[in-house]
Structures are given as C-alpha cells and as structure tokens.
Amino acid sequence: MRDKILRLMDDVFMLPEGSITEDSTMENTLEWDSLAHVLLMGELESRLGLSIPIEDAIEITDVKQLFERLKV
C-alpha cells in the first residue's frame, strides 16, 4: 500500500515515477503545494478508498505523517 500511495503521489504531482519517497515533504518537494495536497486527498479517497478528515488532512506536511495517519 505504501508504494501505491507513493506512485499515486507521483501521478498527482505530475512527477516522474519514483520521485516521491518516504522522505518527501512539502518543504522539499516544489510540486507538493497546498493545491496539490488537496488533490492528493481527493485521489486517495477516490482511487484507494483512503479518507482523512479535513482537519487532520491540513496538518499533514510530509510522507511520514501521511503514512502514520493512514496507518499503512
């Protein structure tokens, strides 16, 4: 599942496959801005069936937190 999420993130951020890793953060990934973040939450829900409440979603700023929140 972790890998699926990372590949989905590549796709949503329009990056070459393999760009997003467990160390990626909003800070070190130019394409991961607030807009891309919202789209990511939508795609996680519609494509992988993973949903995160809005209040929590806006607090997440890196892949580690995302995995932790999703318990994957």
Position among 10, 15, 19, 57 found at the interface with another protein (CB under 8 A): 57
C-beta of residue 58 within 8 angstroms of C-beta of residue 38: no
CB of 3 to another protein, least distance (A): 19
What is the C-alpha to C-alpha distance for residues 61 and 38, in angstroms, rounded to an integer? 12
C-beta of residue 5 within 8 angstroms of C-beta of residue 67: yes
Binding to another protein, residues 3-42 (CB under 8 A) = 12, 14, 30, 33-35, 38-39, 41-42
| Interface region with another protein, contact rule CB under 8 A, candidates 16-24, 51-59, 62-70 | 51-59
CA angle 62, 20, 30 (to 5 degrees): 70
CB of 38 to another protein, least distance (A): 4
